[in-house]
Structure 1
Amino acid sequence: MSVNKRLLEEKSSQELEEYIKSENKFVPEANQYAYEILKSRGRIFTDEENERFSTTVINKNNTDTAVHSNYKKAAEFLYISAFLGIGNLIWKYDTLHNGFEIFIAIIVLAFGFTLAYFTSKGIEWFKYLLLVLFGLGILGIPFIISNIKIDPVIGIINIVQMILQIWGLVLLFKIPKAVDNSQPV
């Protein structure tokens, strides 16, 4: 709910006094505006009133949005998967022959960390993007199987990454639709 400061400015000082009483029926934003208007009109406030309204300003500026815990857990799994990608890269460093291959490897790792970051922010539609990307990644299963035969360590890392990503997706889709991540804490 938004408070129109201009409407409050039209009120008399006596009417605004009702807004700054400690137990009133008005929303905190209206109380804060009334305090600011009265202060600009020259009203002297007690230390208690000044402290109460300065605390309100601090609390208003420090509001964070609540993010469902499954977003955080899923992001942790995606971060672990990205870190395993770094381990994968270190294990097979000899495959990076030139600058372009190194650039592509860095972009892929940065993309993994970016996906995890945005997941941790609780963006609701992001789980669908992750699902599509995971679906495209399923096409790589034959390569994972061949990696197990050629280099078992890389194959196992790839399987663990896939399990972590599946687990993260399951957590994201278990979030109830009623959760609104835009509400302040």
Structure 2
Amino acid sequence: MSVNKRILEEKSNQELEEYIKPESKFIPEANQYAYEILKSRGRIFTDEENERFSTTLIDKNSTNKIIHSNYKKAAELLYISAFLGIGNLIWKYDTLHSGFEIFIAIIVLAFAFTLAYITSKGIEWFKYLLLVLLGLGLLGIPFIISNIKNDPVVGIINIVQTILQIWALVLLFKIPKVADTSQTI
């Protein structure tokens, strides 16, 4: 829902005062416009009012951050990869002999889900960290090949995870420097 600032500019100061009351039922954007219009007309606001509207402005700006759709798609692929990791863990539960091995498995899975979550937030530099991590992961290709020989299910899951992670990186690197503004949170 959007507010037309010109319509608010036609209102009297008294009508605009209704918009800026703390108990106002108007949407925050209308409240902010009313505050700006009254301020431009010379109304003096208390420090409390100024702080309330500057906080509203900060909240409004932080929640309307534009995120390219490829960040979301890449995050979904990374989430799928992490869930496949859980499937792998369940399939090979008998390899977890000690509490330390279980702890490491949980840390690795938590790290995978954290990577997916941070990716979904649209942090631009994060793709380079993912690239480095994937490069390190590709060093484990001989291990994946041995998994295919020893346990085909685990090997196939590892291959699918690697493909999903590469696909996510391709999506992240295809994002233009200035994100498409038609995709929002």
Normalising by structure 1, what TM-score? 0.69
| Residue of structure 1 equivalent to 2:160 | 160
**After the TM superposition, which segments of 4 or more aligned residues of structure 1 sit over 6 Å from their partners?**
none
Query: Given the superposition, is the C-alpha separation of residues 98 and 164 from structure 1 closer, same or farther in structure 2, using an over 3 Å criterion?
Result: same
| Residue of structure 1 equivalent to 2:108 | 108
Q: Which amino acid in the other structure matches residue 85 of structure 1?
A: G
| Residue of structure 1 equivalent to 2:169 | 169
| Residue of structure 1 equivalent to 2:129 | 129
Q: Which amino acid in the other structure matches residue 119 of structure 1?
A: T
| Residue of structure 2 equivalent to 1:118 | 118
Normalising by structure 2, what TM-score? 0.69
Structure 2 residue ranges without an equivalent (≥5): 1-7, 12-29, 47-55
Identity %: 72
| Correspondence 1:24-173 to 2 at 5 A | 31-35=34-38, 38=43, 60=60, 63-173=63-173
Q: CA deviation at 1:179?
A: 2.0
Q: Distance in 2 between matches of 1:124 and 1:91?
A: 35
Q: CA deviation at 1:35?
A: 3.4
Q: Distance in 1 between matches of 2:62 and 2:136?
A: 40
Q: Which amino acid in the other structure matches residue 80 of structure 1?
A: I
Q: CA RMSD in A?
A: 3.3
Q: Which amino acid in the other structure matches residue 35 of structure 1?
A: L
Q: CA deviation at 1:32?
A: 1.8
Query: Given the superposition, is the C-alpha separation of residues 60 and 132 from structure 1 closer, same or farther in structure 2, using an over 3 Å criterion?
Result: closer
Q: CA deviation at 1:33?
A: 3.8
Q: Number of residue pairs matched?
A: 148
